[in-house]
Structure 1
């Protein structure tokens, strides 16, 4: 059982420990370009930099605008793959193609990226 003086001593010790931890974290921020050693996270080399694929983004664009979902056609060509994507809106139909890529998924994502850029360009011309 702690005496009344002992409880005050514990409170002071806890405050001192918290201050020390805060000092360590603050010192680490200046040493590691804003990253505290108290922070738990991934290194840049391990980071997930994109959460959505271009195909998912294009699906979202079509869904949000009540357009038909994209239709993809992927085919082998010269040791790689080519992909085309087509979408239909209320007043347009648009197609875009990929460059030659080493696998079908990359070709499909390339076509979606081209389509997104084309839609942005078309939308900019009408404004």
Structure 2
């Protein structure tokens, strides 16, 4: 798959009770698609990715993938402070149909160059 064009970092909308608002998320995706985006990047810092629970991240990814239904590619931010959690969320994103994942370098604890290589492989 070739990624080109505009892939904005999506926000993650919440209800007044601080729950992920799946209805608003789908409305937001429709708005962006209507206005010509070529793809979407979920769960970066704009999308509260580092602050959401694993279950919330899974709901955001699944909701977006199912709603978009192949109209545009979805890049899911699956980077976590734990390599194990990153791998688990990346596999989940692949399973539900995300087109790609975005993985960050471990950022909380100091990591050696060898540790970074192991994280990505």
Q: Same fold (TM over 0.5)?
A: no
If you compute each CA radius of gyration, which structure gives the higher value, 1 or 2? 1
Higher fraction of helix: 1
TM-score class, shorter-chain normalisation, is under 0.3
Higher fraction of strand: 1
